Amino acid sequence: MTESILPLNPLLARASELIDYAAVQPEHIEPALRELITATRQAIEDAASSPAPATWENLVQAIESPSERLQRARSIAGHLNGVVNTPELRTAYNTCLPLMSEFSTWVGLHTDLYARYQALARSPAYAALSPTRQRIIDLALRDFRLSGVELQGQARVDYAHNADEQAQVTQKFSENVMDATDEWSLIITDPLQLAGVPEDVINAARAAAQAEGTEGYKLVLQMPCYLPIMQHAHNQALRSTLYRAYVTRASEQGDIRYDNASSIESLLALRAAEAKLLGYDNFAALRLETRMADSAPQVLSFLRTLAARARPSALQDLAELQTFAAQSLGLAVLEPWDIAYASERLREQRYAYSDDEVRQYFTEPRVLKGLFNVIYKLFGVHLTACDIPVWHPDAHAFSVQDDQGTELGTLYLDLYARAGKQGGAWVDSERSRRRHEAGLHTPIIWLTCNFAPPQGGREALLSHDDIITLFHESGHAMHALLSRVDEPAAAAFAAVEWDAIELPSQFMENFCWEWGVLRSLSSHIDTGEPIPRELYDKLLAARNFQSGLQTLRQVEFSLFDMLIHTHDKGLNIDSVMQTLNTVREEVALIIPPAWNRFPHAFSHLFAGGYGAGYYSYKWAEVLSADAFAAFEEAAHPADDGTRDVFDAATCRRYLDEVIAVGGSRPAAQSFEAFRGRAPSMDALLRHSGLDHDSD
Burial class (CB in 10 A: 0-12, 13-18, 19+), 74: buried
Rounded alpha-carbon distances, angstroms, from residue 35 to 12, 29, 211, 221 = 9, 10, 42, 40
User: For strand 395-402 and strand 407-416, is the pairing parallel, antiparallel, or unpaired?
Assistant: antiparallel
Q: Kindly report the three-state secondary structure assignment for every residue of 84-137.
A: CCCHHHHHHHHHHHHHHHHHHHHHHCCHHHHHHHHHHHHCHHHHCCCHHHHHHH
Q: Residue 112 CB: number of other CB atoms within 10 A?
A: 12
Measuring CA to CA, how many Å separate 73 from each of 12, 116, 175, 511?
A: 7, 27, 21, 35
Q: Biggest alpha carbon distance in the chain?
A: 82
How wide is the angle at C-alpha 157 spanned by C-alphas 154 and 161, nearest 5°? 140
| CA-based nearest residue to 415, from 386, 383, 390, 384 | 390
Give me the half-sphere count of Cα atoms (radius 13 Å) on the Cβ side of residue 33. 25
C-alpha triplet 34, 37, 42: angle, nearest 5°: 125
CA dist 155 and 3 (Å) reads: 47
Name the residue among 510, 611, 617 with its Cα closest to residue 563.
Answer: 611
CA atoms of 376 and 409, how far apart (whole Å):
14
Alpha-carbon distance of 248 to 105, in angstroms, equals 35
Choose, from 344, 473, 509, 556, the residue flagged as catalytic: 473
Residues paired with residue 410 on neighbouring β-strands, in sequence order: 399, 444
CB of 238 within 8 A of CB of 574? no
- 239 close to 546: Cβ distance less than 8 angstroms: no
Asked if residues 204 and 169 have their Cβ atoms less than 8 Å apart, the reply is no
217-220 and 395-402 as β-strands: parallel, antiparallel, unpaired?
A: unpaired
Contact 325/334 with Cβ under 8 angstroms?
A: yes
Contact of 353 with 359, CB cutoff 8 Å: no
Measure the CA–CA gap between 413 and 448, rounded to whole angstroms. 6
At 77, which helix (H) or strand (E)? helix 62-83
Instruction: Tell me, yes or no, if 437 is annotated catalytic.
Output: no
Q: How far is CA 491 from CA 65, 136, 602, 657, 688, in A?
A: 15, 10, 28, 14, 31
Strands annotated E in 274-406: 381-386, 395-402
Beta bridge partners of 401: 382, 407
Cα distances from 607 to residues 79, 94, 169, in angstroms, run 14, 14, 9
Instruction: Give dist(CA 529, CA 520) in Å, integer.
Output: 11
- Distance in angstroms (rounded) separating the CA atoms of residues 512 and 508: 8
* Percent helix / strand / coil, the chain, rounded to 5: 60, 10, 30
Taking the C-alpha atoms of residue 527 and residue 515, their distance in angstroms, rounded to an integer, is 20
Alpha-carbon span 59 to 46, nearest angstrom: 9
**Catalytic sites, residue numbers:** 473
